[in-house]
Each structure stands twice: as C-alpha cells, then as structure tokens.
Structure 1
Amino acid sequence: MFGIGKFGIVFGALSLASTAAFALPKATEIYPDMGLGYNIGNTMEVPGNQGGPTGWGNPFPDAAYVKAIKDAGFNTVRIPCAWDSHASNGTINAGWLDSVKTVVDLVINNGMYAILNSHWDGGWLEDHVFDGKGFDKTGEVTISAATVAAKQESYWKQIATKFAAYDEHLIFASANEPGVNDPWNGGADNGQWAFDETRMQVLKSYHEACLKAVRSTGGNNATRIVVVQAPRTEIDKSPLLASIYPTDPAGDGYTMAEVHFYPYQFSLMTGGDEDWGKMFYYWEDQTPGNDAAHTCSGSALGSKSSIDQLFGGLKSRFYDKGIPVVIGEMGAVKRFSLTGDNLKAHLKARAAWYGYTVTAAKKNGLVPCVWDTGDEGDGNFTIIRRQVNKFGGNVGDITDFETLNAMREAYGLAALPGNSIDSIVNQNPDIPEGEGKGAELTYKTLTSDSSEVGTLRINLSGSNTDLSKYVGIEISLKGSVTTAGGCTGAGDGCGEYGWTSMDLFMMTGSSWAWFDAPVMEQADKELDGSKFQTFQIKWDDFRTKPTDLNSANAIGLNLYGTQVTGTIVFDYIKGIKADGSTEIIDDFDKKPQAEGIATAKVVPISGTSAIKPAAVAATSKMFVNVQPGLVTASFSTTSAGMAKAMLLNTKGEVIAQQSFSTSKGANAVELRSTYRGVAMLIVRQGSQQLVQKVILK
C-alpha cells in the first residue's frame, strides 16, 4: 500500500526505513479533513463463530458500496472489526488480516480516512474492564486485567505490523464500548455496576497496551493516530477519561478520544412508554404539535440544549487541549410502528436531529460517525443500501435522502435530489378510524439451502406485561406459505426438503427467559388463505411451561423454514382467561416489529383481499423427546415401509440421519448428535413427512 501523506511525503513499503524520521500529522491537523463519518456496521465485527462479515445479513463490502459512501459526502469510515474470534493460540489468521486489508484499501483508495477498531467480539476485553472479582453477563467472575492487557498488546502488534506502511489516512481505535455491558445490579450508574476511578485505571492500562504495541512497530505507526474510548463511550463518563488519560510513547498530539451518542428515549427506545419516561418519536419543532409528551425538547437528552451542553463539554475537556473527539457511533432508529402523518413527522424529526447533531459536532471539534447496519426494516438506521437481495434496488442507493441532506448541509454540501419520506409513508398509510386493522407479514427466504426465520414480535408494556392472568394465548390469522425445491447447494436433501413451521414464543422476567410452543402442530390445523382461523396455545402446550408470567417482556411468532414464500395476515393476539373468555393483548393498531425474512405493514381487515390458499401439506403429530445427545421421535404411520429420519441444523446441513423400517401403527426412531442448539427433525415415509423444530441439548 502506498499513499501520499498530508505534507506530500510518499509513504510505502520501500520507504519504511526513512519514514521514521518524519512524523505523521498530529490529530488536530488531521481533524479538519475527516469531515462526516460513517460506520460499516454489522459486518467486519461479526464474530467468526457467528458467520463473520456476512453472518448478520450484510454482503462483504465491495467497491460500489464504498464509492457510494464517498459520493454521499462522507470522508471518514469507521470499520468495526473482530479479531479474537479470528485468532488461534493468540495469532490472528493471516487470511482474516487480508480480508480486513481489502476493506481498508477500498476506503483509503476513495480518498477517505479509515478508523479500524477492536470491537466487542464476544466481550473478551469490553466486558472485562476490572481486575480480580467483578461481573460480566454470566455473573460474578474473576479476571486478570494483566492477562487481558497482554492479549490487547499482542493483537495490536499484529494489526499494526500488517498496516505499518499506511499513511495518516489509517487510524487505529483501541476498543469499542468498554464496560457497556456491565450488568444491571442496582449499582450507582443508572442501575449498572459503577464505573469508578479504579476501573478507569484498568481501562487506561488496556489503552496503553494498544499504544505500546502500535508504537513498537515503528515507521508510520510511531506517530499514527490512535483513538481511545471513554468508559462505555458515554459522554457523562468522559471526565474519567480526561482525568486518567493514557500515556502515549509518541508524546502529546497523536491520540483522539471517542464517545458515542444515542440519547435513549429518542434514539433507541422501543416497545412503548415506561413509567419512568416516554418514547420520543418527534424532536423540537418537528412534532405534530398535539403530542408534547412524545417530543424530545427542552432539557431532555438529545434536545438542542442538551446537545450544545454535552458537546461543549467535550470541546473544553479534550479538543481545547489538543485532543479531537470522534463520536464513533450516533443515530436514531426509524420507528415504523407509526403510520401516515405521524410517521412523516417522525421521519422529518429524525432528519432535523441528525442535521443539528452533526452541525454541533463540527462546531465543537468532534468527528460525527453515523451508525448504519444495512437493514431497512423497523428500527433501522440505514442511509446507503447494501442488502439488495432482501430490499431490491442497487448497492449504493440512498434510502434516507432527508437525513443525508441534513448532514450534508452541515458540511456545506449541496442537497442530493430524492425523496425517501413520502415513499416510506406511502407504504405505511393511515387507516381510517373504525375500520378493523391487522398486521400483514410477507415472508421470503433469501437462500435456498439454509434455514431462516421470520419474526413477528410484540414488545409488551404497561398492563400487558402481566400474562399470569391468562392460561394461554389465542391468535387469529389467515394466509399461506409455501416451500419449493430447487436449492443450488450440494448435500444430502438439497432441493428436496423445503420445510416450514411456526412457533409462538415469549420472553419473561429479568433474565428474558425464552419459552416457545408449536402453533400448527398443536392446533392440528393448516393455514387457510380464504378466512381467519383462531389458534389457541395454552401454557401447558409450551415445550417448557413459562415462568415469571407476571413480568413478560415480549411475545411473538417465528416462522421457520427453507425455500419459503408467502403472506399471513394477523387479526389480533389475545390472552385466554381461565373461564374461556379472551381479551386483546395487541390489535395491530400500529405496525408490529418484523425481523428476519418477514416484512410487515398494517392493513384494513375489512378491505383485505382474500389471499389465495396454496397447497400446504398437513402437519401430522409427532412426539419428540430430547435428551443430551439423543433425540427420540414417536409417530404413527398408516402402512409399513422404509423411512428416513434426519436432523438439519439452521444452515440446512444434515447433522444426523438414519434409514429404518416402519410397521403399521406406532413407531419410534432415535438419532444421536453432539450438535447443540436449534435444529429441524424430519421423518419421511413415502409421501408422508413429519417436521418439528427441536432444541438439541
């Protein structure tokens, strides 16, 4: 990699020996050129054991996508990155380093700055900012801070060596959000375990391990900019970083500080109002005017006054002392639970908030980097399209012109022609009062050889959180989903075993315990596209009887399958009382949350055209018992013959199978597997096929 530095000095592999005599520009010299920043989120930071860069639905970044980032007006790209899950015995895989280099080169070759960080990656550093006894998501643990720091130093020495020849357009970032996953145990910090000066000393040692490693590799790394993070990257914790700032062997001027900015009620809060505060759909004067309770204004976090105060504090704390600040992540979700004019007001409010926030950042010596995950469903941040297989269009299409143009204006750039708000609102129209409403979910799998899931989720709040007054759940739905053969992958069963199943699920209590139950199998019904049917699932029908029903967090339905297409309309979700009566839990007045292969919209029930039913095979009953390493299926057949039993993992791969003979009447088959997690059990004899989701222990 060769590059021309800020002062016209050519840096490259052949000039490493000479570059040591020339320091790269200081952070305050680079800052004015960094401009507006953008995150390639949910990609390079996906842990290797969760599928790597494409594991969370995004394609690997290509030239068209990165060029679109540049063309949109961004001049800095933050690349969240995993390292630990791509390492063996402490050594980062060479192929992974090459993959990261590919993305870094795309960014720098487009004339942008690249910020390469060490992201969460299982929390090996981020969740362990303490020495000795402390807490992570598993509970109380004992951690050696020296051991974590040694791993940090080792990884950054390998990374820095790989990128030693790059000029100042490559910036390293020590961590991501250190301590953000501290448990909620009644501590001093909004319920979290307190982050105090003792823990800041530990975080300082982690940052200094990174700095030591980078500087030790010499050349351009001797003065390369390194970004260090405040505790949890929370602005109100930045005074701790300022007072216990890491020492840089390069001297002053070659580091930046990092915070993130997600004012919760406006940016991230979903699931409805809480007793401690409301969801903020609107912002300042961008509001319907009759909903002040849901408008972020005054002194609320995320309002104009709070942004000015918080960013002004960062300026005096860091920038005025020669340390520019990177807002490594910032953003506010799109809430598609709103419809019509309310949705339009919400989207305009988001755009205005983004514009004001980046303007204030620029004014106070901050580099604002917007968060972008690639998804375009409810709760998304996306500005530039990349998941074209799911959402259509082309890689690089702008999906949020209003937000982008508000930020471009802050940097003196002309507005790009386009209208996103009207197209989104037209897909989520108001439905006249008095007309019945329902939720229409459309399902379409993206691959032909892997199991995928589409989720309808209802986040509960208020009185709806207490489900203990019910004995079960009733849903009303109509529609059809079909499966088809023809997958292109190689392997046993490819193109032959398209399947689908539906489960009701719930999450309860402080631990968000998961419980689920089959819907069609339990009710012994098929989907009907011509009329609504009711399905009742009692608590006793669940695979494990639910607990903590008085504090339920969410309920919903998962549609599992391969090679699935179809549409289902849900009329309501009700609770069933002991006397057999029912009452509404959710009537879909607002668009529900849809995830995975499902997309949702609110539709009038009375005006919904009948969905043509498709041929869906009846689901026969099968009793399944799961023990560690063993699955036993009991079922009945109408005739004797040869049969085959298979277990498929969520990728559609066969993990266990057995051919066997059946007799007329009751039969049983056993399959053994060391696999753990969700799988599909398929038993097939002639034209009869039994399918059930199982959780292997």
Structure 2
Amino acid sequence: MFGIGKFGIAVGALSLASTAAFALPKATDLVEPMGMGYNIGNTMEVPENPTGWGNPLPTAAYIKAIKAAGFNTVRIPCAWYSHSDALAKDIAAYGGTADNSTYKHVGKDASFTTPTIDGAWLAQVKEVVDMIIAEGMYAVLNSHWDEGWLEDRVYDGTANPRSGAGDITNSSATTKARQAAYWKQIATYFKDYDEHLLFAGANEPAVNDPWGASGQWAFDDSRMQILKGYYEAFITSVRSAGGNNDTRTLIVQAPRTEMDNAPMLSTNWPTDPAGAGYMMAEVHYYPYQYSLMTADEDWGKQFYYYTGLSSTTDTEHNMGWNVYSNSIDNNALGTPNQIKKAFGELKTMFCDKGIPVIIGELGAIKRTGQITDAANLKLHLQGRALFYGEVAKNAKANGIVPYVWDTGAENDGNMTIITRQKGTYSILDPDVLNALQKAYGQEGNNQSNLDSLVNENEVPETEAGKGVLVTYATKTSDSSEVGTLRINLSGTKKDLSQYVGIEIRLKGSVETAGGCTGAGEGCGEYGWTSMDLFMMTGGSWAWFDAPVMEQANQELDASAFQKIQVKWDDFRTAPTDLNDANAIGLNLYGTQVTGTITFDYIAGIKADGSTEIIDDFDKKPQLEGTASGKVVALGGTGDIGSNAIRPVRAASSKMLVSVRPGSVTASFSAATAGMASATLMNFMGQVIDQKNFNASKGANSVELQSNYRGAAMLIVKQGSQRYAQKVLLK
C-alpha cells in the first residue's frame, strides 16, 4: 500500500482511490517521504466563499508549482460548517430566517447536531485533494476556524470566548456531536484514498480566547477534557467510516497549537480504536515579535534582524532584544537556541513515543515597508531566509514535518513563496525557498531577489532632490480599500505642538472606474476616492484625521507640484497630545482606484507661516494596503498622468471603513432591515472580534474592538449583501 507507485499516475485522477483491505503504513513511515510542507492558506477555509479573501481556487498548475519548488506535502485548511445545512438550522433556532445567511452559529447555542455537508463542496475539496495526490504529494485535510463553531467553543456554559462578542452559551455535547457528524461524512467520502490523504481534526482550538489584565483566558485541565472529547469524536467517526479509514493517519492539535501547551496534549492523548501508531500531533510556530508583531510596545520591540545577522545601527530591533536589560537574550523565542531546544522537547514528548509531529503553520512577515535603510533591509531579508532554514533544519533533524504558511498576498508583510493571484505561479521569495530546500538536501539555487527588493527602497545617495512615488491600485470592484503612507515619528519631530498645521507638497493623478472624479449624481455607479491626513498621538495612540483636498478646496495636478495646507482646526476632532505624536500620514480611500502620486515632503506649519520639514522622503516611508512605491529623484519621475482627484461622495452600496487605534468602524447601506454580522480576523483565520447586530434599512455603522495590530480582514454581511475588505489595524 505504501507509495504512489501502485496507482500509476498516468492513469489519471480516477486511479487515486485504493480499495485494499490491508492496514496503511504507520504514521512514522510517512514522515520522511512527506518531507517539507506548504499551506494553501486563505482559500478553502474562507467561510462560504473560497475566493472571498482574494485568492483563486487552486489549479493544477499551482499544485505543480508547489511540487516543483521541492514540497512533498500540502496542508488544506478547510471550512465545513459554512458549507452545511447547519447554517440555516442555526439561524432558525434563534429566530432568524433561512435567507438571513449572515447570522451565524456565533452568539447563541443551537440544538441541531446532525448537519449535512453540501455535496458540491465535497466535490470541490476532492478536486484539490486529487490534484495534490496526482503529483505524488501528501494532502493534510483539516477543519479550520470556519466561524468558530468548534474552535471558539472549547468550554461548557456561558462565557465570552471572543473579546467584544458578548456572552455565548455553549454545550460541548452539541459541538462534539457536530464534530462527529462532519467527520463521518468527510471520512466516508474519502474512504478509499490511501495513506497520501491525512485528516486533522481542528486548527487552533481556543486561540481566539480573549486577553484580559491577567493575560489570555486560562486553558486548564477541565477545558482539555472537553477538547479531548472533540478529538475522540473525530477519531471514532473516521475509524467507523470504512475503507482505509481504519488505519488512516489522523492529526490532533495542542491547545491553541502552542508549543507551551504541547505537554497538556501529551498527557491527555486521545484514545484511537486503531491502536498505537496511526496518529500525529500538531503545533504551530510563529515567534510573535519576529513573525507577526507590527508595532513596538513598551514591553518589547519588533525583531527585524535574525541572530547572526544583527544590525549595528538599529540594535533595538535585533532578535532577542530585551527592553528591560537593554541587551540580547540569545534564548528568546525564535532564536536558534530556542528552536533547537523546543523541537528537541517535541521529539522527546511525541516522536520518541511513535507519535510524529507536524508544524502545521510557520512563517515570518516580510518587512520591506518598515525598514527604510538599505543595509538594514538586506540584513532583514537575509535573516528571514536564515530563520526559515533554522526551523526546517531542526524539524528534519527531529522527525518533524514543517508546513510554511502562505496567504497568497504579495504586498509588504506577506509570507508568500509562490505567486497565484495573477494566474502565474512564479517564485516570489527565492531566498526563503533556497533555505528550505537546502535544509532538505535539495540544491536551493533559485535566483535571489534580495538586491532588487533593497534597490526599490532607495535611490543612490549622490542623487539630490528625492521624493517618494506612490502607486495606488485597488483589487476589488465592490468594496472600499485604503492605501496608506505612514511616517513613524521619532526624536524632536515627535513634538508637533510647535506647529499650527501640516503642509504637503505633491503632484499626481488618481482616477476611478468610469472616469468618475467629480461629485455628480452618476459617481456612485462607478468608483470614488478621497484623501485624508491622519495622525496618532499619546500613550493611547489617539486617532485624528482631516480631509485633504476637500478642506483645501484643491484638486491634484499631474504636471506640477503644489502645496496643500491642513490646519489643526481643519481636523474632524481637534488633535490632543500634539507634543507626543507617534505617527502621521496620508490615507487614500476609494473603490476601483488607480493612479500615482509623488510626495516631495510633509512639513509642519509654524505660527509665523514658515514651514519645517518633518519628512522629505529621502528614504521610503511605510506603505500599506493599496499603496506601493519607491524613492525617486525628483524631476525624473516622468509624466504621471493628467486626471485629477477630487473628493466625492461614496456610493450608497459600498462600505466605508475607518480604522483607529483599538477599533474599526464600518459604514454601509442595507437594502432591508434585518440581522447582520461583522467579523474581524487576521490572515491566519483567527477571529479578532465579531458582532451580531440589527441593521436598519439605509445607512448603518458597526464598530469592532481590537488590540491587534497589522493586516486583517473585515467582513460585514446582511441579508444577501456581503462586504469584505482588508484593513490595517493600528
């Protein structure tokens, strides 16, 4: 049974199934051929619509590109609840209607315990599984977050597992019954597949528990027993589904998939009717300060530069920097020492007992928008490759299978290695791929792109008169998106109280679909756009903003630079704590927006009318969202267009989003009154906040809370209306 050879790949997808009655290979036999793994992230796990987060459905060409890159196992994060009749049943159970598909299982307890998965969805998942196995690779099919039907409900009684969502009453017996029902159907559907298909019962159970003054909601032994019950429901259902499920390798997760919680799983290992040897354990590896953190805090800094490739000019962002001792901790989370120790402990805890481990997700964001110094940026990029290589090397040495996380995004902050959103499947991150390949004995000779990424961030120092050329390009046709130019302030320029306002020197053009740049009645049918100046001040990072063009009664000129002044009195709310400013910048909002703007400088306006440069863009500022760009020599940017940008009203059918420190507000128009839901989640599928509310016919707004910083997805649903927009949380 072992190996793909028995199928004869040339025969085609129909030969992927096996009907042999013999036991499949044990889990330990799969580790070496599985090699290193890849996640198809932000796709099949998206609730209801797999393309809703910007990625296309996986194609055969994409799967072949993963194989060609040296990976031999693919993890498929997958949704099941939102593709079953549990959705409508849950709505009806607490007073909704079957048409109100936005009112989810989140918020109340329902008694429906025998959901049926949509057959078309099972067939869609099968296509992806078949393409993976057809390339001789292994497929790990899991149950991902999917509205939190299981992962947010690892408790009994009434609690608040998501900050801001309100109290939720849960019956673990109901959740357990649903777990059993889903996996019985999945396992039955795939029962004849051989060992190249593995099942994973959850993703990151309880990761969305809220944070309070004393830290995250405790995960104690009583909750572990509930989670163990969910796992045993998964295992028993699969084993009873017939075919090769009797001995198929199954995977269960440590609470929150945190390595620190792995001992709790080890001492509460679920019972498997198949006996010993047919299961694996799963943890994830995102050392927060290095992998995910996007803003410095009082308790710690972001780690930009990996161990062995430290910066001499930006020491506080070196891996392991301790803000209390002002020194490096070489055993901090993410360092080579810590990786070696932690992976060795996993080996002792599981692998040495015949239970292989997978690192189901791992990665570190790319910080090309945060690091403006060319030498430091190169250190950062080299260090990312070193980090991935360290993880892969230690995983292989300890009999652990690592899976890199991939969101499909190609902008700053991404973890993507292989492109897919543009219909091409090229290597986006060759240096990281080289490090992974070398750890697994492959050549690792992909052409580096380090120098090109670094060169995009600056022009030669000999060139005078620099500015930043920013290109804006929205990706969706029905949602508002934002392009952000942000300057993180430091030194004397943190004190803006010496000024009475801000002056911006810029030129350029931005246009919207249909040529709509005015405020006429037809504008709402096409695109719209507007620009705001913003700042964040004080210890609470209070948010203040002001319209730029509208307030100045000006429009952009593509042929010549112009100066636009915005006074503190022009702000929608009078700024406070100007003597302690954290950041200042410009947001370009809009739908179906394209264009370029060259910024020469941002300056403070003094009481006597003179100005003082705050940032003259000799180095690239932080660019986020729909904005990308590079430093250029002024006068050499060429003709950047002739159309002008004017503030226009938003179409009533669009969603507007306002992001402030600690909160996000969405404004939208509903065609009818009814229940609606708003969900804010990060790009690993973890819910940051969620709210169900009554929407009125016409204009509505909903506010979600967040202490999270970085890229996230905001989803608002009401009746047949659905809005999804990427947001950058502050």
TM-score normalised by L of structure 1: 0.78
Is the counterpart of residue 217 in structure 1 residue 244 in structure 2? Answer: no
Q: How does 1:672-691 map to 2 (within 5 A)?
A: 673-674=697-698, 676=700
Q: Choose which of 120, 123, 127 in structure 1 pairs with 2:145.
A: 120
Q: Contact 1:260 / 1:329 at 8 angstroms: preserved in 2?
A: yes
Is the counterpart of residue 306 in structure 1 residue 334 in structure 2? Answer: no
- Residue 277 of structure 1, CA deviation: 2.3
State how many pairs are aligned.
617
Give the 3 Å change call, closer, same or farther, for CA 404–613 of structure 1 in structure 2: closer
Summarize deviations over 1:27-81 as a string: whole Å, max 9, x none: 1111111101011111111222xxx222222221111111000000000111111
Tell me the residue number matched to 1:531.
561
Give the 3 Å change call, closer, same or farther, for CA 501–182 of structure 1 in structure 2: same
Q: Tell me how far apart the structure 2 counterparts of residues 204 and 552 of structure 1 sit (CA, whole Å).
A: 49
Q: Contact 2:544 / 2:571 at 8 angstroms: preserved in 1?
A: no
- Residue 107 of structure 1, CA deviation: 0.8
Q: Contact 2:505 / 2:561 at 8 angstroms: preserved in 1?
A: no
Is the counterpart of residue 483 in structure 1 residue 490 in structure 2? Answer: no
Q: Choose which of 79, 100, 119 in structure 2 pairs with 1:82.
A: 79
Q: Contact 1:593 / 1:600 at 8 angstroms: preserved in 2?
A: no
Tell me the residue number matched to 1:157.
184
Q: Contact 1:531 / 1:610 at 8 angstroms: preserved in 2?
A: no
Summarize deviations over 1:625-647 as a string: whole Å, max 9, x none: xxxxxxxxxxxxxxxxxxxxx63
Q: Tell me how far apart the structure 1 counterparts of residues 575 and 180 of structure 2 sit (CA, whole Å).
A: 46
TM-score normalised by L of structure 2: 0.75
- Residue 18 of structure 1, CA deviation: 6.0
Q: Counterpart of 2:66 in structure 1: which amino acid?
A: I
Tell me the residue number matched to 2:297.
274
Q: Contact 1:501 / 1:560 at 8 angstroms: preserved in 2?
A: yes
Tell me the residue number matched to 1:58.
55
Q: Contact 1:483 / 1:565 at 8 angstroms: preserved in 2?
A: yes
Give the 3 Å change call, closer, same or farther, for CA 454–198 of structure 1 in structure 2: same
Q: Tell me how far apart the structure 2 counterparts of residues 367 and 607 of structure 1 sit (CA, whole Å).
A: 53
Tell me the residue number matched to 1:372.
406
Tell me the residue number matched to 2:269.
245
- Residue 237 of structure 1, CA deviation: 1.3
- Residue 369 of structure 1, CA deviation: 0.5
Query: Residue 282 of structure 1 aligns to a residue in which SS?
Result: coil
Q: Tell me how far apart the structure 2 counterparts of residues 508 and 439 of structure 1 sit (CA, whole Å).
A: 24
Q: Contact 1:456 / 1:592 at 8 angstroms: preserved in 2?
A: no
Q: Contact 2:74 / 2:138 at 8 angstroms: preserved in 1?
A: yes
Q: Contact 1:383 / 1:404 at 8 angstroms: preserved in 2?
A: yes
Is the counterpart of residue 317 in structure 1 residue 349 in structure 2? Answer: yes
Is the counterpart of residue 41 in structure 1 residue 61 in structure 2? Answer: no
Q: Tell me how far apart the structure 2 counterparts of residues 15 and 353 of structure 1 sit (CA, whole Å).
A: 36
Give the 3 Å change call, closer, same or farther, for CA 578–676 of structure 1 in structure 2: farther
Tell me the residue number matched to 1:68.
65
Q: Contact 2:151 / 2:206 at 8 angstroms: preserved in 1?
A: yes
Q: Counterpart of 2:654 in structure 1: which amino acid?
A: N
Q: How does 1:501-512 map to 2 (within 5 A)?
A: 501-504=530-533
Q: How does 1:651-662 map to 2 (within 5 A)?
A: none
- Residue 234 of structure 1, CA deviation: 1.1
Q: Tell me how far apart the structure 1 counterparts of residues 279 and 600 of structure 2 sit (CA, whole Å).
A: 56
Is the counterpart of residue 649 in structure 1 residue 683 in structure 2? Answer: no
Q: Contact 2:533 / 2:587 at 8 angstroms: preserved in 1?
A: yes
Tell me the residue number matched to 1:256.
280
Q: Tell me how far apart the structure 1 counterparts of residues 192 and 644 of structure 2 sit (CA, whole Å).
A: 60
- Residue 546 of structure 1, CA deviation: 8.6
Q: Tell me how far apart the structure 2 counterparts of residues 554 and 119 of structure 1 sit (CA, whole Å).
A: 36
Q: Tell me how far apart the structure 1 counterparts of residues 81 and 479 of structure 2 sit (CA, whole Å).
A: 27
Give the 3 Å change call, closer, same or farther, for CA 195–553 of structure 1 in structure 2: farther
Q: Contact 1:504 / 1:516 at 8 angstroms: preserved in 2?
A: yes
- Residue 10 of structure 1, CA deviation: 6.7
Q: Contact 2:44 / 2:79 at 8 angstroms: preserved in 1?
A: yes
Q: Choose which of 114, 117, 126 in structure 2 pairs with 1:101.
A: 126
Summarize deviations over 1:467-503 as a string: whole Å, max 9, x none: 999998765543210234399xxxx989973432234
Summarize deviations over 1:179-207 as a string: whole Å, max 9, x none: 222211023xxx21222222222221222
Query: Residue 46 of structure 2 aligns to a residue in which SS?
Result: coil
Is the counterpart of residue 450 in structure 1 residue 475 in structure 2? Answer: no
Q: Contact 1:505 / 1:558 at 8 angstroms: preserved in 2?
A: yes
- Residue 432 of structure 1, CA deviation: 3.3
Is the counterpart of residue 410 in structure 1 residue 462 in structure 2? Answer: no
- Residue 286 of structure 1, CA deviation: 2.3
Q: Contact 1:454 / 1:594 at 8 angstroms: preserved in 2?
A: no
Q: Contact 1:5 / 1:24 at 8 angstroms: preserved in 2?
A: yes
Q: Tell me how far apart the structure 2 counterparts of residues 176 and 288 of structure 1 sit (CA, whole Å).
A: 36
Give the 3 Å change call, closer, same or farther, for CA 498–5 of structure 1 in structure 2: same
Q: Contact 1:522 / 1:541 at 8 angstroms: preserved in 2?
A: no
Query: Residue 594 of structure 2 aligns to a residue in which SS?
Result: strand
- Residue 534 of structure 1, CA deviation: 2.4
- Residue 437 of structure 1, CA deviation: 5.6
Query: Residue 425 of structure 2 aligns to a residue in which SS?
Result: coil
Q: Tell me how far apart the structure 1 counterparts of residues 283 and 618 of structure 2 sit (CA, whole Å).
A: 37
Q: Contact 2:51 / 2:57 at 8 angstroms: preserved in 1?
A: yes
- Residue 246 of structure 1, CA deviation: 1.8
Give the 3 Å change call, closer, same or farther, for CA 551–15 of structure 1 in structure 2: same
Is the counterpart of residue 110 in structure 1 residue 144 in structure 2? Answer: no
Q: Tell me how far apart the structure 2 counterparts of residues 469 and 202 of structure 1 sit (CA, whole Å).
A: 59
Tell me the residue number matched to 1:520.
549
Q: Contact 1:475 / 1:573 at 8 angstroms: preserved in 2?
A: yes
Q: Tell me how far apart the structure 2 counterparts of residues 141 and 549 of structure 1 sit (CA, whole Å).
A: 41
Tell me the residue number matched to 1:228.
252
- Residue 598 of structure 1, CA deviation: 2.4
Q: Contact 1:472 / 1:538 at 8 angstroms: preserved in 2?
A: yes
Q: Tell me how far apart the structure 2 counterparts of residues 55 and 216 of structure 1 sit (CA, whole Å).
A: 34
Give the 3 Å change call, closer, same or farther, for CA 612–254 of structure 1 in structure 2: closer
Q: Contact 2:511 / 2:645 at 8 angstroms: preserved in 1?
A: no
Give me the CA root mean square deviation: 4.0
- Residue 507 of structure 1, CA deviation: 7.9
Q: Tell me how far apart the structure 2 counterparts of residues 300 and 92 of structure 1 sit (CA, whole Å).
A: 44
Is the counterpart of residue 197 in structure 1 residue 221 in structure 2? Answer: yes
Q: Contact 1:334 / 1:378 at 8 angstroms: preserved in 2?
A: yes
Q: Counterpart of 1:26 in structure 2: which amino acid?
A: K
Summarize deviations over 1:630-688 as a string: whole Å, max 9, x none: xxxxxxxxxxxxxxxx633359x99779xxxxxxxxxxxxxx9457569xxxxxxxxxx
Query: Residue 53 of structure 1 aligns to a residue in which SS?
Result: coil
Query: Residue 479 of structure 1 aligns to a residue in which SS?
Result: strand
Tell me the residue number matched to 2:375.
341
Structure 2: state its 5+ residue gaps.
87-114, 321-329, 657-667, 673-695, 703-730
Give the 3 Å change call, closer, same or farther, for CA 470–240 of structure 1 in structure 2: farther
Query: Residue 60 of structure 1 aligns to a residue in which SS?
Result: coil
Summarize deviations over 1:386-405 as a string: whole Å, max 9, x none: 122xxxxx622112222111
Q: Contact 1:573 / 1:585 at 8 angstroms: preserved in 2?
A: yes
Q: Contact 2:176 / 2:230 at 8 angstroms: preserved in 1?
A: yes
Tell me the residue number matched to 2:307.
284
Q: Tell me how far apart the structure 2 counterparts of residues 676 and 603 of structure 1 sit (CA, whole Å).
A: 42
Query: Residue 647 of structure 1 aligns to a residue in which SS?
Result: coil
